[in-house]
């Protein structure tokens, strides 16, 4: 089989072993490092990176799964919409099995609800265009990575006058949740790996005040195994030298100010708001809500869903997993009764969830 251009080199095991050896030569003491990307978490666990690192270097899995941090109440709002005969609810596929208070979207679809899995919010706009007699709601979740496409969906619907299109919004931002974690002191961190795909959109300038305020090094890294190892080598080198600040180990995709064209669309449609995170609570100015001029596209207001609230599951410790306080296999429910087929929380069912990574690739970690 011929190599895949610009991909195989980032998975080359020989190069990866060289990076591991270099980390071993540099590291002289224990370090606790958090990755803040669900894709990185899966790559780390799947490829055994955390087990191959020198003794004393611990990987802490952070709140890097946007599906996982979507509040139960927001899931329940989606369930209420999906059960309406006048609504088509469009969503990314990995949201369909995330449990709400009593059900999930897949069960509502099985019972006859009009739930459509789509790959892009613009597909939901097309559904609204093709179904003028139905209300089409797109379940707009995600970190800053998905925000530009969601903004473009609103701008497109506004330009075309699609009054039957709206968003159920649960957009969150990474820097505010990192500030909350670092300020809480509940988990001790020496350094952070930042999500390269998020920084592709936003850039990494927003992380520089965090590094200065909390005196920690932050390294932007990609999603492939060798991207992560390269980021870890740079991070450990900074830690050993007592350096703080932000370094970019993903220059093929990330610039300091990201993609300004994409972010201008986000700022045109959205504004920062206080946001509740599943398992983490209310974090000030950590979300994105529709600006007043685009409130007509807010499904929560259009359908009067603001009154729907829901408590967190008492048997699921996903919040502690998302904070990095415990590993997934330290939750008493991990593996029994909580599995991807019967998840108690979003971290077990999402394709970016830490619990799903541990279940899929190994049951426990020494």
- Torsion-angle region of residue 161: left (phi > 0), alpha (psi -120 to 50) or beta? left
Stretch(es) of the chain classified as CATH 3.40.50.11740: 72-173+258-302
CATH class of the domain at 22-59+182-248: alpha beta
Six token digits for residue 321 = 């997993």
pLDDT for res 351: 86
Six token digits for residue 337 = 């009764």
Q: What is the DSSP string of 173-217?
A: -HHHHHHHHHHH-SS--SEEEEEHHHHHHH-SGGGHHHHHHHT-E
The string of pLDDT tens digits covering residues 107-162 is: 999 999 999 999 999 999 999 999 999 999 999 999 999 999 999 999 999 999 99
pLDDT for res 21: 97
Contacts 24+ apart (CB under 8 A), 330-339: 331/355, 334/358, 334/359, 335/359, 335/363
d(CA 287, CA 285): 6
Using CB atoms within 10 A of its CB, is residue 16 exposed (0-12), middle (13-18) or buried (19+)?
buried
CATH class of the domain at 72-173+258-302: alpha beta
Percent of the chain, pLDDT > 70? 97
The string of pLDDT tens digits covering residues 199-238 is: 999 999 999 999 999 999 999 999 999 999 999 999 999 9
Stretch(es) of the chain classified as CATH 3.40.50.11750: 22-59+182-248
pLDDT for res 283: 97
Q: Residue 239: how many CA atoms within 13 Å on its side-chain side?
A: 24
Q: For residue 364, is pLDDT > 70?
A: no
pLDDT for res 2: 46
Q: What is the DSSP string of 122-166?
A: HHHHHHHHH-TTSEEEEEEEESTTTHHHHHHHHHHHHHHT-TTEE
3-state secondary structure of 295: helix
d(CA 355, CA 321): 8
Cβ of 22: how many Cβ atoms within 10 Å? 16
Q: What is the pTM for the complete model shown?
A: 0.93
Interacting residues of 213 by C-beta distance below 8 A, sequence separation 6+: 179, 182
Average pLDDT over residues 325-349: 91
pLDDT for res 1: 41
The string of pLDDT tens digits covering residues 270-328 is: 999 999 998 899 999 999 999 999 999 999 999 999 899 888 777 788 889 999 999 99
pLDDT for res 363: 52
d(CA 104, CA 102): 7
The residues facing 266 across adjacent strands are none
């Amino acid at each position: 089989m011929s190599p895949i251009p610009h991909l195989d080199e980032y998975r080359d095991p020989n190069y990866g072993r060289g990076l591991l050896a270099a980390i071993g030569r540099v590291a002289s003491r224990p370090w606790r490092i958090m990755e803040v990307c669900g894709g990185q978490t899966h790559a780390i666990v799947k490829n055994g990176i955390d087990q191959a690192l020198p003794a004393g270097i611990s990987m802490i899995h952070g709140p890097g799964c946007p599906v996982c941090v979507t509040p139960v109440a927001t899931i329940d709002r989606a369930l209420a919409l999906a059960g309406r005969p006048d609504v088509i609810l469009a969503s990314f596929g990995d949201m369909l099995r995330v449990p709400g208070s009593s059900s999930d979207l897949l069960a509502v679809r099985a019972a006859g609800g009009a739930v459509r899995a789509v790959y892009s919010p613009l597909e939901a706009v097309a559904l609204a265009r093709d179904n003028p007699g139905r209300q089409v709601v797109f379940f707009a979740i995600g970190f800053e990575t998905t925000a530009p496409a969601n903004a473009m969906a609103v701008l497109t619907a506004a330009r075309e006058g699609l009054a039957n299109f709206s968003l159920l919004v649960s957009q969150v931002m990474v820097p505010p949740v990192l500030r909350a974690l670092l300020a809480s002191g509940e988990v001790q961190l020496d350094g952070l790996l930042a999500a390269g795909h998020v920084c592709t959109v936003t850039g990494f300038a927003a992380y520089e005040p965090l590094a200065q305020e909390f005196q920690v090094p932050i390294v932007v890294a990609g999603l492939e195994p060798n991207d992560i190892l390269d980021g870890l080598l740079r991070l450990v080198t900074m830690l050993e030298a007592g350096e703080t600040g932000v370094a970019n180990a993903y220059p093929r995709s990330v610039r300091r100010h990201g993609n300004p064209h994409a972010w201008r669309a986000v700022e045109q449609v959205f504004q920062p708001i206080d946001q509740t995170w599943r398992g983490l609570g209310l974090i000030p100015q950590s979300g994105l809500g529709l600006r007043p001029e685009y409130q007509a596209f807010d499904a929560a207001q259009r359908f009067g869903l603001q009154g729907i609230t829901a408590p967190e599951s008492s048997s699921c410790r996903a919040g502690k997993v998302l904070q990095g306080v415990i590993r997934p296999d330290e939750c008493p429910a991990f593996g029994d009764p909580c599995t991807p087929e019967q998840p108690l929380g979003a971290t077990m069912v999402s394709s970016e969830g830490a619990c799903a990574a541990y279940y899929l690739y190994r049951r426990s970690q020494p």
